[in-house]
Structure formats: C-alpha cells, structure tokens
Structure 1
C-alpha cells in the first residue's frame, strides 16, 4: 500500500474561491506546503473531500495553473462525474489534495520562449510564464493560445494581464483571433521573431504537429501530456506512453517520468 505521506505532500485544502462558467471551473485552494516546492508543469491530484464517501473513488489530475502566497489555482473543463462534483463545491469547503507530482518544464537557456497551449492545455502556461520571467526578466515570452471557439478562451482571459508577455490567439471557428490552428501562429511568430525553445500543452494532434515543426526547425520542444491516471505516483501503471527510439523504445509513465517530456523522447 502506498504511503502518500512519505512520497508527496498530502493535505486537506480549503477552497478560497471557485468560479464556473461555460463548462470550465477555476478553483483556488489553500495549499502552502505544495506551493512552496511546486515547479511549472507539475500537477496535483484532487477530489471532493467527503467523509465516508468513495464516489468518486480516485483523485483526478490537474495541472497547476498558478501559485501565489500559499494559494494554488487549477482550471479544468467539466467532463465527467469527478469534475462535476468538484464544480459543485463552495468556498470554505475542503478538498483532498496531493502534490506537487511529476516532472515539470525545464526552463531553457535563451532570450526568446514560445508557450503554446490548446484548450484546457493553456492552464499550466500561466505558472510557466511567471517562472520564466522571474528567471530572466529580459526574456521575450510569446504565448500562442488556441481553442475551438472564443468562448472556450474566456476561462483563460486573465492571462492577458501578464504584461511582460506577448499573446496571440487562434480559434477553429474564427470567432476570435486567427481563424485557424495554433501552429499557424507559431510558424508566423518564428518567421517574424526567430527561433526559440517551445513549451507545449494541449490535444495530442496539436502537440504532434508542433513537435514535428520544431524538429524540422531544430528547435527544442517540451510537451506536457494529459492522460487518465488513478494514483499519480507510478503505482497503477495506467498512464504509460510509448517512448521513442531516442530512449531505446519501451514505456514511460506520465505521472512520474512526466507529465513534461522532451518531444523527441516519446511517440505522439
């Protein structure tokens, strides 16, 4: 049996505030122990904290959107029983939280950084952008954000408040920004600004296209994978992904080897 106390921080986190709109929820949780050691790209396992309740049985993984003064924020899309239950929580109620888990982004050397997010994959980029800026305030940080519709981008509108970062958006239906794919924005930005490391999170087809483009351009690319998992610490083996020939094939586990990987080391 796993002793979570010896592996990661476990706590009951009080909800500071929660807002849900258009199928997305933003929850801020009091979690100073997690915030103290979290790095961008890591995640937490969360579920509604109810005594004597096993519904849902397992925690759900959520990328860390932001940490500030001991408060941790996650943003998620309401898609199943677990997230529906979380969406019904209220301020001052308690959540069951374990984290931070996994391996996050490595901030690469260089003056220019491209942050590429699609849909709910935009969530971890806020924490990453703030970390890059703290690491080097002179960095040129370019965020390229894509979604199906303008409404889906509303949950992440506050990212525009990061005045040290340039933001461009695309939507599949053309209701906001560029009418097309987020990779179009990356191609245009690289042409106008030059090469730079890429940090990517979103749907797998999007990440595959971004990774292939970066490979052709000889640009470093890190991808953050989103998979279903039950434990978050490598015990259930439910989040295995295929490693590439770069690491001798085999399998890697998103929860402990990732969720962030160098794109060349996995098969997307």
Structure 2
C-alpha cells in the first residue's frame, strides 16, 4: 500500500483580550465531523487565557499549516514523543496499524496520563520517566535498546523537545531506520513571511521554515 499523509500543525489565535499576542501553533489530536481537538499545557499568558475560554467564545484559526507531514504506512512504526509533543502523535497513531509507542516524561503523573489516548491503537506502549517513577528510568533513548531488540521497526516518527528528537534520530540513523521529526518552533505569521521559525538544512544548502516547509522533516534534513 502506498504511503498516506496526514495534516501537519494548526496555528490558533485567541480573539478577545489576546490582541497583543502572536499566534500559537498546536498539533492536531483529532479531526472529525467538522471538529478538531487539541491538547495544550498552560505555560504562559496565551495558554493561560485559553484555559479561561468557555463554550461560545470565538477563536481565529489558520491551518493546517505547512507542507511537511508524517508519512503513514503499513510498515512497523515507532511513535516517540515527550511532553505535549505527544499530542499530534495521537492523530498519527489512529491511522497507523498497531504502532509501537514510546511516551517520555519527567514523572509518572506526567507520563501515565497519555496512555489512554494511545491504548486503543498501540500494539505496545513503553514509558520512560526522568525520576524512574514509571517505566524505564531515564530519557526516551533509555528505552530504545529494548524496543529495537523486540521490534523490527522500519519507521520512526518523533515529536517533543529538540534534544529528545535529535537523540532518537541519531539512534535511528545508527540502526538505518527511516525517521521523521516534527519540529516545535514559535510561529508568528504561520505563512513563511516573518522568518521567525527558520533553521539551516543539514544535508543541503539553504534554510527551512518550520511553518511553511514543515513542521515534519526527514531527520537527516534538520539534525546532523
């Protein structure tokens, strides 16, 4: 079966008292019957204001943005995520045949809350926690040896903190496993004009724009 594609990121902007704020990019968790679902963490003024929204409040939304999206195929796939980077991987899990899932977090409380979202789709769920309170102690890479030894993976999709994505991508390169990463960057315009979310390609000349060229890239394009 040929690879399929799924939508990239969504940029969402709050109308009301947030006129001074730039748009916030969020990964899409689900899209069905004219409704979309996002998951966010309160980390600043914008998301704190979002937490006070009620039914009937109005949002200005642009998206899906960009051209880079995760590839969906029938090949054995690992979905690896950390923090709120796990949110868009839920969308991908729903379209992937029995993926292996790696959930990375700081504590058991932070990590276990994601399990119910992936359980309906995953063949196997692994967890890592920085403090060892759930799953394997350590960062996401601490689970990779066990995962690689039990599963003949052909693809890896990663979304989370940049150091985590880079380390998983490097491990995938050693095993010669195809790896895609969804970059997390602040996006002011969302259409590639402001150049606030750019980076330098690692495998060719030029610079990429996360909002327009991504957010999903082949790992070798963005990580050395």
Q: TM-score, normalised by structure 2?
A: 0.90
Aligned residue number for residue 69 of structure 2: 104
Contact 1:242–1:267 (8 Å) recurs in 2: no
Aligned residue number for residue 13 of structure 2: 47
Following superposition, the deviation at residue 49 of structure 1 comes to 2.0
User: Measured at CA, do residues 156 and 199 of structure 1 come closer, stay the same or move farther in structure 2, by a change above 3 Å?
Assistant: same
Aligned residue number for residue 178 of structure 1: 136
Deviations 1:105-164 (A, max 9, x none): 122452x110000111111111001122xxxxxx34101010011222355243144145
**Higher-Rg member (1/2):** 1
Unaligned stretches of 5+ in structure 1?
A: 1-38, 133-138
Unaligned stretches of 5+ in structure 2?
A: none
Moved more, 116-125 or 87-96: 87-96
Moved more, 90-99 or 216-225: 90-99
Contact 1:171–1:181 (8 Å) recurs in 2: yes
Return the alpha-carbon distance in structure 1 between the equivalents of residues 95 and 121 of structure 2: 14
Q: Does 1:257 align with 2:221?
A: no
Return the alpha-carbon distance in structure 1 between the equivalents of residues 58 and 32 of structure 2: 19
User: Measured at CA, do residues 160 and 253 of structure 1 come closer, stay the same or move farther in structure 2, by a change above 3 Å?
Assistant: closer
Return the alpha-carbon distance in structure 1 between the equivalents of residues 98 and 116 of structure 2: 19
Contact 2:99–2:121 (8 Å) recurs in 1: no
Give the strand-richer structure, 1 or 2. Answer: 1
Return the alpha-carbon distance in structure 2 between the equivalents of residues 260 and 41 of structure 1: 10
Return the alpha-carbon distance in structure 2 between the equivalents of residues 201 and 42 of structure 1: 12
Following superposition, the deviation at residue 54 of structure 1 comes to 5.2
User: Measured at CA, do residues 178 and 249 of structure 1 come closer, stay the same or move farther in structure 2, by a change above 3 Å?
Assistant: same
User: Measured at CA, do residues 241 and 109 of structure 1 come closer, stay the same or move farther in structure 2, by a change above 3 Å?
Assistant: farther
What are the equivalent positions in structure 2 for 1:215-234 lying under 5 Å apart? 215-234=173-192
- Secondary structure at the aligned position of 2:38 is classed as strand
User: Measured at CA, do residues 233 and 126 of structure 1 come closer, stay the same or move farther in structure 2, by a change above 3 Å?
Assistant: same
The count of aligned residue pairs is 219
- Secondary structure at the aligned position of 1:76 is classed as coil
